[in-house]
Structure 1
Amino acid sequence: MKKNDLITPEGTRDLLFDECIARREAEQKLNILFTRTGYSEVVTPGIEFYDLFTSSTRHFSQENMYKLVDSKGRIIVMRPDSTIPIARLAASRLKDTDFPLRLFYNQSVYENNALLKGRSDEVVQAGIELLGGENKKRADYEALSIAVEALSGFDSDNFRLEIGHIGYFKTLMDKLDVDSDVKEDIRTLISTKNYPVLNDLLDAIGDTKVVKALKQLPRLFGGVDVLDKAAALYTDDKISEILDNLREVFNRLSSLGYEGKISLDLGIVSHIDYYTGIVFRGYLSTIGEAVLKGGRYDNLVGEFGRECNAVGFGVNVDSAAKHMMICGKSKKAETSQVLVFGKAGHEVDAMRYVLDLLKKGIQAENSLFDSSEESEDYARRKGIKKLAVIGDEITVISLLE
């Protein structure tokens, strides 16, 4: 036997029975929500050219992408992100379609997480992209409201949405005189809230107001008072505008009935560099990482030749399904109501009887055993309540005890 015959690659796994049902249920909840709010589904290729993900703002580390070579020797990758291909799509095949474009997707993304044990390399994501909204504020409220409804659909009591603004972090970083590698290290340490290493790195840079603000950035999360703390650390006209915008967003969403489910986090600094404005993450109580991620990205579609504002988010469907299973909020695999056994010479009659039951809405399955006794034993073990024996006559036996 070959060594890897019975296992799956690291970062992947098989889904069985109830797990499949939970995933489909999570997908269906999102598909219904997105469709009813005016979004149309698109599907992009599972493989894309490597170049698509390697510009300065569309940069994905080559070590984290699964790479292949096509028949012409060109490097292609398994899709690590859905937003970038949809931006390409909006500027190419949909270039003559009027804005706003409301698009949604439900597809897998792939990322090599070899050094992060427990992380999935293949994740099903479903999300929306709102492209071309003239009024950014209206578009942000739409995306945020749909994000809250998506989380609420999985568990109306045990979710939260954290909102930040990438502009606060970027403004501080623009004032820091360090190279791009150091900036990326700072971004990673803030994102992971690694206070000790972050402080050591910043101490080596200096003791300015900007440095002090960056040190505190991972701690700037909670209620609206976070904005006052941020302003006290460092402010200018641009930052004041950002903080005022967040205050308004927080208050207005809270007034829609989401109070207690929404918080602020200025430490949301995704490694994806195409975000330009508001950013947000959604959490479910049993999952230790964000289930939903999104934000505003006004320059991305323009990189493909069609300028427009844009905002969107993606949901980790597998994590949402896992939460529903843990909390008992997903359906279980249903047992057949009737097992149908056909005596010798009546095998086709038995299958016809099964199909007739299905048309009546009765869940039934065909017995593959050679005797009614074996069929009855199987039905009892499976919890099937009735056995129909098909011969010259039809006999239905109740197996309830």
Structure 2
Amino acid sequence: MTDWDGLLKKEEQTVFRLRALFEQYGYRKFKMSKFEEYDFYAENRSFLTTKNIITFQGLQGHLLALKPDVTLSIVKHTKGNYDCPERVYYNENVYRARKDDGEYKEIMQVGLEYIGEVDDYAVSEVVLLAKKSLDSISSRSVLNISHMGFVQGLLEETALPPSQQEKILVCIGEKNAHGIAQICKENGVSEELTRRLQTLASLHGSLAEILPKAKALCGNEKAEQAIGELERLYANLKACVYDHGIHLDFSIVNDMDYYNGIIFQGFVDGIPTGVLSGGRYDNLVHKCGKNADALGFAVYMDMLERYGEEEKSYDVDALLLCDENTDTIGKLRAVQMLQSMGLSVAVQKQDDGRLKYKQLCRLSESGVEVIG
């Protein structure tokens, strides 16, 4: 039997495990085109994580764009609604400019979307799948959760214009207590509310530890509803005995125009940046005219390309040298013989130094001999 795990790269093994996991929960594969009409992305540019889009002229004269985002395409084509949810997963490449050098890159993503009525069960299912996805990558993983409704609730208490609330939101994401204090002071926000916002930015830890502290910060109905949802989520995860490695971290913030509920990021030991992110994005679905809410996440496979992968000291087990007079059947039989011994084999006329090998062999009239 072929040892497929031994032949597949780490990220390829992860893709197969994730697909099997998603299908266990009734998610079906969603296949889409590599490109959409550019106007579709232009109309929804505020929902994209990148402002740079690769475009080209289609044969019929339409301006097309290589897909910079998967979620938008799924929302455009979904049939999910409040009465009948749609569960889909995907394994797709997107085309974005890299943050480090600004150059375009093809990035593989594996993820899922739940589109329909996002009730407590749907939230629990998606969060559970996010944590199980991380666990399929590493036994040492953490899923950090926040709630934009809770953060928005506290920000709305300031009664500041959206531009100033956004500045405070950035400071919360940076855990910048001094920055929060400065903005609040300049805008006449009370010391008591300033303190609560500073405390919010520093809250991080297990659900059991942080939920009571977060609840003490509530000052309006929106924040209280968000905490209630988080408490029910915790109870559901605990009942499934799957609340380990799931933390609350309210410094996880995102665009308030896009996300409106639970948001989360996933990390695995050995990779300094997040490998998974997701959340609830009802606003996008409604903007596209769909009668549904939505929740989903993506795993960034490009982050896993070298994770847990040992650098091989050789390219092939055996390099078999054959001169130009050796007949083809003789070469094929020699290769079969070496492969039957569990060796990988490459055939060449000479050792040109470009291929690393364990053994150097030569095929002669007397058979295969090891020469180095």
CA offset digits 1:117-163 (Å, max 9, x no partner): 6999553221111222x46211122111211111111111x211112
Secondary structure in 2 matching 1:34:
helix
Residue 37 of structure 1 is matched in structure 2 by: 25
- Deviation, 1:315, is 0.9
Deviates more, 1:214-223 or 1:40-49: 40-49
Closer/same/farther in 2, CA of residues 378 and 90 from structure 1, 3 Å limit: closer
The offset of 1:358, in angstroms, is 9.5
Distance 1:336 1:38, change over 3 A: farther
Question: Do the aligned partners of 2:54 and 2:95 also contact (CA within 8 Å) in 1?
Answer: no
State the shift of 1:106 in Å.
1.9
| Aligned-pair CA distance for 1:299 | 4.0
Is 1:142–2:89 an aligned residue pair? Answer: no
2:75 matched to 1:87?
yes
Q: CA deviation at 1:356?
A: 4.5
Matched, 1:352 2:332: yes
Q: Compared with structure 1, are the counterparts of its residues 120 and 243 closer, same or farther at alpha carbon in structure 2 (3 Å cutoff)?
A: farther
The one of 218, 233, 243 equivalent to 1:234 is: 218
Equivalent of 1:169 in 135, 151, 164:
151
Equivalent residue number for residue 396 of structure 1: 368
TM-score, normalised with respect to structure 2: 0.80
Does structure 1 retain, via aligned residues, the 8 Å contact 2:319–2:348?
A: no
Instruction: Note if contact 2:204-2:249 (Cα within 8 Å) is conserved in structure 1.
Output: yes
Q: Which runs of 5+ in 1 are unaligned?
A: 1-17
Partner of 2:115: 131
1:231 is aligned with what amino acid? K
| Bigger proportion of residues as strand | 2
Q: Which whole-Å CA distance do the structure 2 matches of 1:103 and 1:121 have between them?
A: 25
**Alpha-carbon distance in structure 1 between the residues aligned to 2:176 and 2:104:** 22
Which of these residues, 175, 191, 195, is aligned with residue 193 of structure 1?
A: 175
Q: 1:323 to 1:194 in 2, by over 3 A?
A: farther
Matched, 1:383 2:371: no
Letter in 2 for 1:389: L
Report the 3-state secondary structure (helix = DSSP H, G, I; strand = E; otherwise coil) of the residue aligned with 2:87. Answer: strand
Aligned residue for 1:59? 47
2:3 counterpart residue number: none
Q: Relative to 1, partners in 2 of residues 1:285 and 1:397: Cα closer, same or farther, differing over 3 Å?
A: same
- Tell me: CA distance 1:259–1:69, structure 2 relative to 1, closer, same or farther (3 Å): closer
Contact 1:57 1:272 in 2 (8 A): no
* In 2, Cα distance between equivalents of 1:38 and 1:360: 41
Matched, 1:205 2:178: no
Please list the CA deviations of residues 343-362 of structure 1 after superposition, one character each: whole Å capped at 9, or x if unmatched.
43434225533775699694
Judged with a 3 Å threshold, the aligned counterparts in structure 2 of structure 1 residues 131 and 307 are, in CA distance, closer, same or farther, namely same
1: CA distance between counterparts of 2:118 and 2:170? 32
1:354-380: CA deviation from partner (whole Å, max 9, x where unpaired): 77569969454342215xxx59x998x
Instruction: Check if 1:106 corresponds to 2:91.
Output: yes
> Percent identity of the aligned residues?
25
SS at match of 2:257: coil
Between the aligned partners of 2:115 and 2:218, the Cα distance in structure 1 is 33
**1:278 is the counterpart of 2:253:** no
| Structure 1 residues 265 and 366: CA distance shift in structure 2, 3 A | closer
Distance 1:259 1:145, change over 3 A: closer
- Partners of 1:143 and 1:312 within 8 A in 2: yes
Specify every segment of 5 or more residues in structure 2 that has no aligned partner in the other structure, as ranges.
Answer: 1-5
2-side partners of 1:127 and 1:357: how far apart? Answer: 43
Paired residue type of 2:129? I
Q: How many corresponding residue pairs?
A: 362
**Any residues of structure 2 matched to 1:260-339 within 5 Å, and which?**
260-271=244-255, 273-325=257-309, 335-339=315-319
Q: 1:184-213, CA deviations, whole angstroms, 9 ceiling, x for partnerless residues?
A: 333333223333333322322222355443
Distance 1:319 1:102, change over 3 A: same
Match of 2:198 in 1: 215
SS in 1 for 2:215: helix
Which region of structure 1 is more displaced relative to structure 2, 334-343 or 202-211? 334-343
More displaced 10-residue stretch of structure 1: 194-203 or 145-154:
194-203
Find the aligned partners of 1:135 and 1:69 in 2 and give their Cα distance: 37
User: What is the alpha-carbon distance in structure 1 between the residues aligned to residue 314 and residue 28 of structure 2?
Assistant: 31
Cα deviation per residue 1:307-330 (whole Å; 9 max; x = unaligned)?
Answer: 1232211111122344323xx6xx
The 1:367/1:154 distance shift into structure 2, 3 A limit, reads same
RMSD of Structure 2 on Structure 1 (CA) = 3.7
- Alpha-carbon distance, 1:389 to partner: 1.8
Distance 1:355 1:184, change over 3 A: farther
1:382 alignment partner AA:
Y
- Preserved CA contact (<8 Å) 2:153 2:220: no
- Counterpart of 1:33 in 2: which secondary structure? helix
Secondary structure of 2:122's aligned partner = helix
CA contact 1:79–1:109 (8 Å) conserved in 2: yes
- The structure-2 alpha-carbon separation of the partners of 1:74 and 1:255, relative to structure 1 and needing over 3 Å to count, comes to same
